[in-house]
Amino acid sequence: MHDITQGPSRRSFLGLGVAAAGAASLSLAGCGASPGPQSASATPQGNVSLTMSAYGSNTRQHKLQQVFKLYAKKNGGKVGLELLANEAYAQKLATQIAGGAAADVVALFHNSVAQYASKNALAPLDRYGPKVLDLSHVDKESSSGGVIDGKRVALPLGDNAYGVIWDKTALADLGMSVPEPGHTWDDFITFANDVKKKAKGRLYGTIDNSADFNGFQVFVRQRGKELYKDGKLGFSKADLEAWFAIWAELRKSGAAPPGDLTVQTATGGFGNSLLVTGKAPNFFIYPNVLSGFQALTKNELAVSTIPMTSASKSGLFVRASNWAAVNARSSHPADAAALLGFMLNDEQAARILQAEFAAPPNLELRKVIEFNKVDRVFIDYVELVSKEFAQPVPSLAEEFPSGSPQVMTAFVTAGQSVATGQQSISSGTDSFFSQAEGFLS
């Protein structure tokens, strides 16, 4: 068992590449819920029937079913699973919660935790002691996001940190290495132009990430701000213009692709990305999807940080990529909480789930699980960010105010409009602010 504080160094981390791994397709499986009034007891009854609703793939379905069989074997009763593809799940969950028909345990996207908490749809979890819900080994920083208005209403199923997936093989063919974690924006611009020159037309130096709201969030945090403050935009026009200017400079030099190509490859899944098609050496994204990319290329992939101002102003944070909560109208809330505790803390369950929901939030179990090579690279990256770069995680309630989905769409539109030359940086910024402020009013 290794000490989690002895994670990989910035330089040694880059030596870790990944081999190909399978990516599962989305599907659905049904199982009903049994809503009812919440019991006042904080002690599980045991030997009851529970349900959980979740989103994801056939692989996730299979792993959850294995965990639930294990839970039933140890605790009696049974756990049913309703699993859908992401968009279908979000729509159905909203309907179920509104109608009082949600499962006992519900998986949540991070942008919906505060929303459902504000509707009192999620049961407070603070009332359950460590015999039911032991959080002593759960990552305190990422799990803090599940505390809304002073009440813990959700728990992380996996931890994640924004980063850049790099094609290690393509760079090695040019005699280059993946940029070290902690490299600056100036380093990045120089590096991207060097790639472009050495590739002699075969490869751009980077993708154009100007329309990525997640990347912009990290950039804004590097400047000491957040996307939102008190339900309004938390950054200035100057911040957005500075972001657009970075990518405009890279397009002008030819290090980044022209805007039309970027827009064409923005849809169609990972397989349509310039990274997978061999036209660019990177992709900016939350890298829990690393295995999905690796399955589509024979080249070895690695992960590094987004460029930054300095290690102390990285803008990065470790966040939960998947959340779970107890339905406030569950007939068996204590048993539902115990099921969550089991998923987080049981070693056999953790070995089954592996990195299915991203990096296991139980830091002790994360030490003893043997991950495959793909997942190990991702896990090491999350631990590296946690150890060397992580800043406080933003509040979910602040991060996703009413109107935020429309703001994100407006950001993508503005970024693409500027990239394709339809608008200047100034006019694109003005258009975004005008729309965003309207959505947030």
163 band by pLDDT with thresholds 50, 70 and 90 = very high
Q: pLDDT value at position 14?
A: 43
Ordered domains of the chain (ranges, CATH): 23-160+320-371 (3.40.190.10), 163-316+394-440 (3.40.190.10)
More confident residue, 325 or 46: 325
User: Which of 33-37, 128-132, 202-206, 416-420 is least confident?
Assistant: 33-37
Q: Is the pLDDT of residue 424 over 80?
A: yes
The CA dihedral of 181, 186, 189, 191, to the nearest 10 degrees, is -50
Supply the mean pLDDT for the chain.
91
User: Would you mind telling me the total number of residues written for the chain in this entry?
Assistant: 441
* Residue from 152, 134, 128, 129 nearest 142 by CA: 152
pLDDT tens per residue, range 315-342:
999 999 999 999 999 999 999 999 999 9
* Residue from 130, 129, 103, 80 nearest 331 by CA: 103
The CA dihedral of 85, 87, 90, 93, to the nearest 10 degrees, is -50
pLDDT tens per residue, range 172-201:
999 999 999 999 999 999 999 999 999 999
Strand partners, 35: 330
Q: Is the pLDDT of residue 404 over 70?
A: yes
Q: What's the average model confidence in pLDDT over 261-288?
A: 97
Q: pLDDT value at position 32?
A: 34
Q: What is the pTM of this model?
A: 0.89
Q: What's the average model confidence in pLDDT over 337-348?
A: 98
Q: What's the average model confidence in pLDDT over 372-379?
A: 97
Tokens of 177: 């290495």
Q: pLDDT value at position 165?
A: 99
Residue 155 identity: L
Pairing of strands 78-84, 49-55: parallel
Q: pLDDT value at position 366?
A: 97
Tokens of 82: 């309703």
31 band by pLDDT with thresholds 50, 70 and 90 = very low
Q: pLDDT value at position 41?
A: 74
CB-based burial of residue 59 (10 Å sphere; 0-12 exposed, 13-18 middle, 19+ buried)? middle
pLDDT tens per residue, range 304-319:
999 999 999 999 999 9
**H-assigned helices in 254-369:** 259-264, 290-294, 333-345, 347-353, 363-368
Cα three-residue angle 209-86-380, rounded to 5 degrees: 55
